[in-house]
Amino acid sequence: MMPLLTTKGLSRNFGGLRAVDNVDFTLMPGEVRAVIGPNGAGKTTFVSLVSGRIQPSSGTIVFDGADITGLPAYARVRLGIAYTFQLTSVFANLTAYDNVALPVQLTLSDRRSKGAVDAGVMAALERTGLADRARMPAGQLSYGHQRLLEVAMGLALTPRLLILDEPTQGLSDSEIDNFIGLVREIAKNATVLLIEHNMPVVMQLADRITVFNAGKILAEGTPEAIRKNAAVQEAYLGTAP
């Protein structure tokens, strides 16, 4: 099976700081991959390079066999790469419905079909548990629900690769349980790349884990292998969870 995503020698410098340092990375179709590591390890910079929000200083990014290194973010969205931000980026003055309608319209050949837009919006809101808040202004939603709204906006793009950056931040325990079920459902039809600090969530969801430290990949493996990895424990986990 051909990888869905690969990076070769991927690096990004900010002045004298190398935030991502010569990273070789492979992601297979249908995989749920967690990216973990201490603050400042380069995780968000790495997924920002993959999504096209920032350009690399060097290296290449290949998606489904095509070199996308020079493509802007909007072109990567059209190829099927959706990214939810570490900090909420919803349109506060629009309703939850209208926030999701914007990406739904990008996926439709006939953007004027109200029935198709409505079906796409409500399907995404129902999957994230927000259907009953469809008409609320997004700015009036709790922080946790704004995070889920971002996931709904990503799902509305029907992505092949969904990148989630700290998605459980601000969620209650019951919402986290629902989110775990949601990601498992998403993974039936898409590949998921997940940055997450909540280690119980990581250990439950991930097929494999990639550990970043100081801009480089420190370790990769199954949750069990990462749990037992002495270098990972020293750099990030402290003690095995």
The CATH number of residue 24's host domain is 3.40.50.300
- Within this chain, do residues 241 and 165 fall inside the same structural domain, yes or no? yes
- Within this chain, do residues 188 and 222 fall inside the same structural domain, yes or no? yes
- Within this chain, do residues 166 and 211 fall inside the same structural domain, yes or no? yes
Q: What pLDDT band is residue 241 in, cutting at 50, 70 and 90?
A: very low
Q: DSSP secondary structure string, 188-226?
A: TTSEEEEE-S-HHHHHHH-SEEEEEETTEEEEEE-HHHH
- Within this chain, do residues 68 and 108 fall inside the same structural domain, yes or no? no
Closest among 119, 115, 87, 73 to 100, alpha carbons compared: 119
Burial class from Cβ neighbours inside 10 Å (0-12, 13-18, 19+) for residue 79 reads: middle
Q: What is the pLDDT of residues 156-206, one digit of tens each?
A: 989 999 999 888 888 889 889 988 998 999 999 999 999 999 999 999 999
- Within this chain, do residues 163 and 227 fall inside the same structural domain, yes or no? yes
Q: State the average pLDDT over residues 54-70.
A: 97
133 has a pLDDT exceeding 70: yes
The residue written with tokens 């051909």 in the block is 2
The sheet with strand 81-84 has its strands ordered as: 81-84, 161-165, 191-195, 32-36, 208-213, 216-221
- Within this chain, do residues 108 and 184 fall inside the same structural domain, yes or no? no
* Residues 6 or more apart whose Cβ sits within 8 Å of residue 17: none
Question: What is residue 233's predicted lDDT score, i.e. its pLDDT?
Answer: 87
Position 74, amino acid: Y
Q: What is the pLDDT of residues 66-75, one digit of tens each?
A: 999 999 999 9
Q: State the average pLDDT over residues 76-81.
A: 93
Q: What pLDDT band is residue 113 in, cutting at 50, 70 and 90?
A: confident
Phi, psi of 125 (to 5 degrees): -70, -40
- Within this chain, do residues 134 and 205 fall inside the same structural domain, yes or no? no
Q: Of 103-112, 117-126, 204-213, give the lowest mean pLDDT range.
A: 103-112
d(CA 198, CA 35): 11
**Angle separating helix axes 143-155 and 96-107, nearest 10 degrees:** 20
Strand-pair partners of 44: none
Q: Of 53-62, 88-97, 119-128, give the lowest mean pLDDT range.
A: 88-97
144 has a pLDDT exceeding 90: no
Closest among 145, 142, 161 to 68, alpha carbons compared: 161
Closest among 91, 205, 199 to 150, alpha carbons compared: 91
Q: Which of 106, 133, 158 finishes a domain?
A: 158
- Number of separate domains in the chain: 2
Token output for 17 = 């700081």
Domain that holds residue 65: 1-80+159-241
- Within this chain, do residues 110 and 213 fall inside the same structural domain, yes or no? no
pTM value > 0.85: yes
